Structure 1
């Protein structure tokens, strides 16, 4: 509960700090706000489960673990934002305020105990992201991305609300515990098609948020058009919160009808893996490749949800952390490199922009290499163990066929992740030495160190939830 209250207050404070004469105070203030919220989050560790806001919000170790991933990711992303000084028309206070408010929505999604709380969290997060996606008002790509995201998000919200209405009609409650009781007792001997329809519609709305196929069509264009810093925010924090919400919904309320929904999630997981990995192989833009990469990683996380067990819960937490660390590094390097060259007035986000990167920027090339290896699931990185835990959870559940598909798709991923590594080390290019701000470098070093640490010692996080 503490992060919700603190971030709500800090978001308002950040907006008022925008009236100060010096804009330089905004970045350190926002980082301090996030650090305080992170400390407040773990204050309740091992004290739950606790219920707040008229029993609509649940705090337990799983909630706090996902909150921690979201807040750490937000801290790193804000730290590499550079104060939004590149855009002369930018209003940093508004951006930081919206980012803090969006975190409130993400945390509400993670810990919801009532469907209305879930809806409020989704909308608080989504509205902030619609605005941030279109924040570069002079860029037509940013405007187009914001419009697409808003329109398709509105349709997804409609599906989600309709699903909630049907679930209320079937169970007589929005409370997850009451829904669970209905599913395991009243519903046990008599299938309710209204309940099934409501669950499917609600899942459609949630799967849109995490870029699962076939609800992924917005993802490549929105990722490409949005300012890269907000794309980073979207690809890590929104995805983590979305999967935490889906897992809580299915595990807490609908485990009694697992036989109904698991095959639906499994089919969507396979389709997502196919679309994400095959789509990424044909991209010439590194940023669009990361968009399709995000789709594919949604497929891997859906496999863990399909397994639905204690090991899969731990796998989702570990995988979300590993994916967030690697993605922040990848987008962080992209922001630095793409500013050095322009194509038709836009930052160069193609693979060719990385040609010869290692010659004058060995540190950046190394960080990029580690992040790509982790996303590809290569051993000695956190990404390898994330996939390993997910595959073993599915195998333990007896769903061998989906594990085989996932392993095959992982081999496809090696192709497009290694393209940028090859460009950095083996292609001829003229990327000049890039100046990296000291704190920016600290964040890249920290994320890379954690990626390698969790790759070498994955048991560090074992048993903490």
Structure 2
């Protein structure tokens, strides 16, 4: 059998956002080579300017966004490269979410890298763009080969980004843990793909869908059933679903805050789009075999995620368990898509992800301004009285936490409303009830941090000193003007002096306190504040305006498998 295929310009048009990101990766690395370095150039040095490379990376993201938006209005095929990757409206909508998350992550990075003195900027921003590229590939994949390629591209980039702070043991631990556990998940996914190929003889979603509908007779054969089980494990790991969530709190806590903000959104979008394509569309004819398993994982993830978040005193870990719970809510859309309402389920997932994007990145953006070099600054005790030290940061963090809790009129309420409505329409009122009860439970741990910032710790609050991050107070330590501490004090009334003391100088200058922390970087923090402003605006606008466009979103979701 021979196979001949020629690439057309329409194929390149369909993946234009991905092409733009790949070209910008090369440009970012080239600019990094040309920028002047401070001092002698070596593997431990980097460009002295911390603003050029993020601007180059941000331009790449904006260009990819512009191309994606243009594709909504330009006639182009719904799939490209022999139906291996989709370019329909549903895929383009997912592209927008990933690119906005990546752009906000880039904006949060310059001040963070400067404050922690991380000089390898070229690698950092190139890896961010590569991670976005892999996520776009996986989100648009309509062939198992592209699913695995996209998964490996963004996973390899995130392994390095999570362990990017080489002076921080928790960052190294986060990268290693994510690498080891993600490798196991990738192996499960690849083995499941191979078994499905052995059972059907195809890797294309459309061909597998036709084969299963013709030969399954309502139930999958054993080989296909085993492949489906292995795929469930692989996708559940990327969504941080219970019982495959153990990596999430440690990785979220140890990774740099801007990386955590970006990956908490991007990995979910990529994995859930592939998840809903495979189970909600491709394997819809054998839904009775996989739906009880996904239903159980969804319920377990919702309940366990909220329960484990209750006792957290570290806001990064609390948001990690919150992310697990939100992943469980999103799995409701997968269950609904398999219950004969696949377009409603897919549109609910897309809308909820667009809501989750702004409020979650906003919360981690505030943390990026609070985080110190030793990975502290955001414990519950350290956030006490933040309102009195920095009301802007406290107000923004409270705003995003209330949105995550689901208070109207912010996006959290609109996203949950549409997702629970989809569960009701899809014939799963029990998921609606469980979701509402879990959301009420989740309000407690969000309000706990808000109450600590606003209602505690007003006494003894002192502004930040040199070398500390925004809004974080250290205990006051008296500083003496002497060069070394006095071990044995001599009574003033004693007339006998054993050792002559050198008198102190008459004019004492203020001592220079040297710490291992770099000085705060105010000149780059406008980028972080811009990202927080965009996230806050999106948290309001998406929750108030976008619900009026839900029919359009549903129509876009209906094209996911065309």
The one of 440, 456, 463 aligned to 1:411: 440
Residues 42-441 of structure 1 mapped to structure 2, 5 A cutoff: 42-45=69-72, 47=75, 49-82=77-110, 84-188=113-217, 191-308=220-337, 309=341, 310-339=343-372, 345-429=374-458, 430=461, 432=463, 434=470, 437-441=525-529
Mapped to 1, the partners of 2:301 and 2:129 lie a distance apart of 30
Instruction: Say which SS state the counterpart of residue 243 (structure 2) adopts.
Output: coil
Mapped to 1, the partners of 2:257 and 2:219 lie a distance apart of 50
Instruction: Say which SS state the counterpart of residue 349 (structure 1) adopts.
Output: coil
Mapped to 2, the partners of 1:228 and 1:437 lie a distance apart of 14
Task: Compute the displacement of 1:75 (Å).
Answer: 0.7
Mapped to 1, the partners of 2:544 and 2:462 lie a distance apart of 32
Task: Compute the displacement of 1:312 (Å).
Answer: 2.1
- RMSD (CA atoms): 1.7
The one of 50, 54, 66 aligned to 1:27: 54
The one of 40, 47, 66 aligned to 1:39: 66
Task: Compute the displacement of 1:406 (Å).
Answer: 1.2
Between 63-72 and 199-208, the greater mean CA deviation after superposition:
199-208
Mapped to 2, the partners of 1:366 and 1:307 lie a distance apart of 37
Mapped to 1, the partners of 2:345 and 2:365 lie a distance apart of 29
Task: Compute the displacement of 1:431 (Å).
Answer: 6.4
The one of 23, 39, 47 aligned to 1:9: 23
What CA deviation, in whole Å up to 9, does each residue of 1:433-452 have, x standing for no partner? 74683332222122112211
Partners of 1:304 and 1:390 within 8 A in 2: yes
Larger C-alpha radius of gyration, 1 or 2? 2
Task: Compute the displacement of 1:190 (Å).
Answer: 6.0
Aligned residues between the structures:
461
Task: Compute the displacement of 1:39 (Å).
Answer: 0.7
Mapped to 2, the partners of 1:260 and 1:375 lie a distance apart of 33
> Is the helix fraction higher in 1 or 2?
1
Between 435-444 and 73-82, the greater mean CA deviation after superposition:
435-444
Task: Compute the displacement of 1:53 (Å).
Answer: 2.5
Task: Compute the displacement of 1:337 (Å).
Answer: 2.2
Task: Give structure 1 stretches of 5+ with no counterpart.
Answer: none
Task: Compute the displacement of 1:40 (Å).
Answer: 1.0
Moved over 6 A (4+): none
Task: Compute the displacement of 1:48 (Å).
Answer: 5.1
Partners of 1:79 and 1:440 within 8 A in 2: yes
Mapped to 2, the partners of 1:295 and 1:94 lie a distance apart of 29
Task: Give structure 2 stretches of 5+ with no counterpart.
Answer: 1-14, 37-46, 465-469, 471-521, 557-562
Mapped to 2, the partners of 1:190 and 1:275 lie a distance apart of 31
Mapped to 2, the partners of 1:271 and 1:186 lie a distance apart of 33
Mapped to 1, the partners of 2:304 and 2:435 lie a distance apart of 12
Partners of 1:338 and 1:353 within 8 A in 2: no
Higher relative contact order (CA 8 A, sep 6+): 2
